Structure 1
Amino acid sequence: MMCSIKKILATLFLIGFIGNTLKAQISPPGLGDANTALWTAFGVKRQLDSLGKKQALSYIAIGRKSSPDNDNLLSKQAILVINHEVYHSFAPHQQYSYALSYRRQPQYESSAPYEKESTEQEFRIYGRYAYTFDLGKKWKLKNTVRQEFRKFFAADFSKVEEDFQLRTRIKSQLTYNLSPTNNQKLALSAEALFSMSHLNDPDPQWTSFGYREMRIAAYYMFTIPHSPFTVDVGYMNDLIRDSRSIHHGGVHYLAADIIWNIPYHKN
């Protein structure tokens, strides 16, 4: 599995160096400790004004993952996500967005046979600020800061061990325009996540604010010819601090999403 993933990364990297708006892929969320994972999403992106400065992206997505003792990325249901985000490019190179999200995530036992023991719900709100640098005709560098508030519940809305969390995410993404044919692009990104949590158990308390994980990703993006759909396919490596998976190179994700782009229509 590791050899296959390395070949995929090498191929994507070489394509970028062989071969105008920035298309945002629907990046995978963290799915916890595992060896491999699969993330698939379907989104609808709408232009909200005639100038193309305001957009809304709504999507539904599912994730699956392996058990800690195998590499079968379809082994277990990992997450269901419903997300809605509004973007506003308010100045040259600058953009902000805000979003609401609902996530439903099964929890599994930490020892074999890793059976499901509960289901956790999450309600999330977040805001994001991004600044994009044009690095010549084909390169763009987008730096993003994202602040999240995450509230957790059990399936019956009772309390769980983690009450809520404040999380800060800092991301840099380098995009290369491969070809104007089908609007092909290659994106390489790195994102660091820092957080602090308020716990319900064993006693109400705050954890310290600190670094939790790093996510490194490579994506190939293109438009389906003669259609309103864009497709993003890629790989992500999630390096979770103090996890079992970090000793084996992190959690390895394969990801794909399709986005239906709807142009602005005046009412």
Structure 2
Amino acid sequence: MKNVLWERSLRLKKIAGALLLFGSLFLQAQISPPGLGEANTAFWGAFGVRRRMDSLGKKQTLSYVAIGRKSEPDRNNLVSRQAILVLNHEVYHSFAPHQQYSYAFSYRRQPQYDEVSPYEKEGIEQEFRIYGRYAYTFNLGERWKLKNTVRQEFRKFFDPDFHNVEEDFQLRTRLKSQITYSLPSENSQKLMLSVEGLFSVSHLNEPDKEWTPFGYREMRIAAYYMFDIPNSPFTVDIGYMDDLIRDSHSIHKGGVHYLAADLIWNLPYKKK
């Protein structure tokens, strides 16, 4: 009888451990900076709220508000001018071991600047974005994880009065590989390195209504340090990203260099 109870207890512990691992595979995720165009340096800061939608952590949402600032193309002050305002809401579902899909809605408001000195502000461009994402995570030993992601986006652009702009809409595909190492610590410290390639095709309003060729546009390389604040529901992510934009002036200087930081408030599941 004791052996049966011990085996059941061991089995329950293994199941609980597997569920905990399954849930933690996707709970830690930084809010990556968007591309902010031509600059030398840039800053990205975000505040998000992550909510578990079920007791196992298989379903969750992440809503965040964020701002981006950047330098002028010939200077290095990474906060000298406003670059973007972002409102984003994403729903995640870990539907099978190691597999996850998500979908999101996003609004972005981005100032446009003259391309020549003194780089005066020309106007505002608004963007509405919807996207879907599929991710598969490989366990590479006890502390290493490799996550591969494909993300498909639809981006629609307007001026401040919701009139059409030169670029009507864009279809963009993003392919990303991310490796994460979990440090031996009590507050879930992690190190992350990622590489992402972006490919797109656009429909133009001007000068003629036509499609651009589908092709490679950008590569984004990022490194992050992530940790939980002890005795609190908050997670902090601090990182660096290098945005290599095809045919840009910045690519000859090694790309646009970002400092990024975000604070995420983790809310547990509450049964209704």
TM-score, with structure 2 as normaliser: 0.91
Structure 1 match to 2:6: none
Bigger shift: residues 210-219 or 21-30: 21-30
**SS of the residue aligned with 1:179?**
coil
Q: 1:69 aligns with which of 66, 74, 82?
A: 74
**SS of the residue aligned with 2:187?**
helix
Structure 2 match to 1:252: 257
Structure 2 match to 1:11: none
Flag structure 1 segments of 5+ consecutive residues without an equivalent: 1-19
Q: 2:31 aligns with which of 26, 31, 36?
A: 26
Distance in 2 separating the partners of 1:179 and 1:66: 37
Q: Deviations over 1:149-193 (max 9, x none)?
A: 000000110110100000000000000001232100000000000
Pair 1:51-2:56 in alignment: yes
User: Matched residue pairs, number?
Assistant: 248
RMSD: 0.6
Structure 2 match to 1:190: 195
Structure 2 match to 1:133: 138
Distance in 1 separating the partners of 2:82 and 2:178: 29
Distance in 2 separating the partners of 1:253 and 1:52: 31
Q: 2:94 aligns with which of 89, 94, 116?
A: 89
Structure 2 match to 1:98: 103
Distance in 2 separating the partners of 1:122 and 1:179: 41
Distance in 2 separating the partners of 1:30 and 1:221: 21
Code of the residue aligned with 1:54 in structure 2: it is K
Structure 1 match to 2:165: 160
Distance in 2 separating the partners of 1:181 and 1:247: 42
Distance in 2 separating the partners of 1:85 and 1:132: 19
Moved over 3 A (4+): none
Q: 2:185 aligns with which of 176, 180, 183?
A: 180
1:74 shift after superposition: 0.7
Distance in 1 separating the partners of 2:74 and 2:242: 18
- Larger Cα Rg: Structure 1 or Structure 2? 2
Structure 2 match to 1:6: none
1:146 shift after superposition: 0.1
Flag structure 2 segments of 5+ consecutive residues without an equivalent: 1-20
**SS of the residue aligned with 2:77?**
coil
**SS of the residue aligned with 1:183?**
coil
**SS of the residue aligned with 1:110?**
coil
Q: 1:208 aligns with which of 204, 213, 217?
A: 213
Q: 1:231 aligns with which of 236, 239, 247?
A: 236
Q: Deviations over 1:96-147 (max 9, x none)?
A: 0000000000000000000100100000000000000000000000000000
Q: Deviations over 1:8-53 (max 9, x none)?
A: xxxxxxxxxxxx5241000000000110000000000000001110
Code of the residue aligned with 1:66 in structure 2: it is S
Structure 2 match to 1:10: none
TM-score, with structure 1 as normaliser: 0.92
Distance in 2 separating the partners of 1:179 and 1:24: 18
Distance in 1 separating the partners of 2:209 and 2:258: 34
**SS of the residue aligned with 1:64?**
strand
**SS of the residue aligned with 1:182?**
coil
Code of the residue aligned with 1:209 in structure 2: it is F
